[in-house]
C-alpha cells in the first residue's frame, strides 16, 4: 500500500501573512519510502468562522443539563487537484518512492475578516493537503496562515477624538447610606495601532467611609453569536494588562496620570467581514470598595487598527512627512492554539502545523 515518510506544505510567503485579494502560493511536498497507490492528491483551501460553547442549565427535575450552542460562517472554499483523479487520470494512480513536489496557487477573496483565535471561536484560514487512498485511511497535512484585513484609522471618523467617561456609586453600610464614590477616565484619543501606548488620566473621589482599591484595566471583549439550536450570545472578557494604583482612603480625592498601556499584537477591532464574532477593546477605571459591595466600572472603548493615524505618524517622525512606517508582523499576544482537535482526523494520519498563532501588524515608532 506504500509508506509515507513525510507530508507537508511550504508557503512561498514564509511569514504566512496575507491580505484579502492576495495570491497564496506554495508547494505540496511528500516523500514516500515505497510506492503508494492512491486516487489523487488534492488541496482543500478554506477560510471559515466557527463558534461553539456549552451552558449548564437547571433541567427542572433537580438534574443539570448541558446545552450546546454553535455557529459557522464560510468565507471561501476551494479545491485544487495536484495529482491523479482530479486531473483526469482516473481512480487508480501510483507514485513511486522518493520525493514529490506539487506547486499550487490561488487568490484570496477581497472581503475577508482578519484571522482570530478565541476561547469559544475562531476565524481560521488553512491549506489542507489530502492523499486520497483506496482501502486505507486518507493522509492529511495542514498549513494554517494569517489573513490580516485593513482597518485604517484615518478612515474611522472618531479615531482621533478623545474619549471620556464618568460614573458614581452610593455605598450602603448595613442600614445607613455612605457617601458616593466617583470616578472619571479620559483618553486624548481612541484610535491606536499595536506598538503604540495608551496614555490615560483618571480622577477619583472617595466620599464613602470605606477604603477603596483603584486600578485600570486594558481589556478585549469578544462577542460570539451562535445560531444553533437557536440564536444565543456569549460575551467573553480577557484582561490584556492591569495597572494598580494606591488605595483611596475615606474622604480622599486623587488625580492619576502619566501611566500607559503598551499595545501588544492584537486583532483589529470589530473583525469586519465576520457576522458571528465581534471584538471590542476597552480601557477601564475600576474603583473597588473593601468589603461586600459592587465595584464602580468606568470604561472607554478604543479602536485598534492596522494603519495608524497620519497625525500620529507625523508627530513621531517630527515632520510633515506622509510616508507611513512599515509594520512588522508579530504573533498574537494570546499565543498558540492547538488546532488538531478541530481537524477530527485519525492522529497517525495527520501531519503539518497543528499549533497556530495568528500574526498582526506591530509598529516600532522611534
| pLDDT tens-digit map of 147-171 | 999 999 999 999 999 999 999 988 7
Strands 350-352 and 139-147: parallel
Question: Are 4-150+326-362 and 153-305 in the same CATH fold?
Answer: yes
Q: Which CATH class is domain 4-150+326-362?
A: mainly beta
Please give the average per-residue pLDDT across 134-143, as a whole number.
Answer: 92
What pLDDT digit, counting tens, does each position of 321-354 carry?
667 888 999 999 999 999 987 776 666 788 999 9
Within 8 A by CB and 6+ apart from 67, the residues are: 54, 55, 56, 57, 229
Domain extents in the chain: 4-150+326-362, 153-305
Residue 173 has pLDDT above 80, yes or no: no
Cβ 198 vs Cβ 259: under 8 Å: no
Q: Does domain 153-305 have CATH number 1.20.80.10?
A: no
Work out the angle at residue 268's Cα, subtended by the Cα atoms of residues 265 and 273, and round it to the nearest 5 degrees.
145
What pLDDT digit, counting tens, does each position of 253-282 carry?
999 999 999 999 999 999 999 999 999 999
The model's pTM is 0.92
Amino acid at each position: 500500500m506504500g509508506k509515507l515518510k513525510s507530508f507537508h506544505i511550504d508557503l512561498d510567503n514564509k511569514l504566512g501573512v496575507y491580505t484579502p485579494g492576495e495570491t497564496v502560493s506554495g508547494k505540496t511536498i511528500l516523500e514516500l519510502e515505497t510506492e503508494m497507490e492512491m486516487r489523487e492528491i488534492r488541496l482543500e483551501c478554506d477560510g471559515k468562522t466557527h463558534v461553539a460553547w456549552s451552558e449548564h442549565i437547571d433541567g427542572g427535575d433537580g438534574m443539570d443539563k448541558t446545552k450546546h450552542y454553535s455557529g459557522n460562517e464560510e468565507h471561501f472554499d476551494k479545491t485544487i487537484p495536484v495529482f491523479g483523479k482530479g486531473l483526469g487520470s482516473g481512480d487508480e494512480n501510483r507514485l513511486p518512492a522518493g520525493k514529490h513536489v506539487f506547486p499550487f496557487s490561488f487568490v484570496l477573496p477581497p472581503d475577508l475578516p482578519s484571522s482570530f483565535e478565541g476561547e469559544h471561536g475562531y476565524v481560521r484560514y488553512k491549506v489542507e493537503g489530502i492523499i486520497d487512498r483506496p482501502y486505507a485511511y486518507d493522509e492529511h497535512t495542514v498549513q494554517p496562515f494569517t489573513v490580516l484585513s485593513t482597518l485604517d484609522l484615518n478612515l474611522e471618523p472618531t479615531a482621533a477624538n478623545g474619549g471620556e467617561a464618568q460614573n458614581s456609586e452610593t455605598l450602603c453600610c448595613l442600614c445607613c447610606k455612605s457617601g458616593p464614590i466617583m470616578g472619571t477616565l479620559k483618553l486624548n484619543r481612541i484610535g491606536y495601532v499595536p506598538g503604540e501606548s495608551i496614555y490615560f488620566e483618571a480622577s477619583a473621589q472617595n466620599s464613602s467611609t470605606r477604603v477603596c482599591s483603584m486600578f485600570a484595566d486594558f481589556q478585549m471583549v469578544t462577542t460570539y453569536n451562535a445560531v444553533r439550536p437557536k440564536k444565543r450570545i456569549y460575551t467573553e472578557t480577557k484582561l490584556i494588562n492591569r495597572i494598580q494604583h494606591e488605595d483611596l482612603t475615606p474622604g480622599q480625592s486623587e488625580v492619576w496620570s502619566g501611566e500607559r498601556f503598551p499595545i501588544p499584537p492584537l486583532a483589529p477591532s470589530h473583525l469586519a467581514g465576520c457576522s458571528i464574532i465581534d471584538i471590542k477593546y476597552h480601557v477601564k477605571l475600576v474603583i473597588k470598595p473593601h468589603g461586600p459591595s459592587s465595584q464602580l466600572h468606568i470604561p472607554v472603548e478604543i479602536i485598534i487598527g492596522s494603519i495608524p493615524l497620519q497625525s500620529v505618524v507625523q508627530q513621531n517622525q517630527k515632520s510633515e512627512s506622509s510616508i507611513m512606517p512599515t509594520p512588522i508582523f508579530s504573533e498574537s499576544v494570546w499565543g498558540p492554539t492547538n488546532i488538531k482537535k478541530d481537524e477530527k482526523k485519525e492522529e497517525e494520519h495527520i501531519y503539518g502545523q497543528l499549533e497556530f498563532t495568528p500574526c498582526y501588524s506591530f509598529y516600532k515608532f522611534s
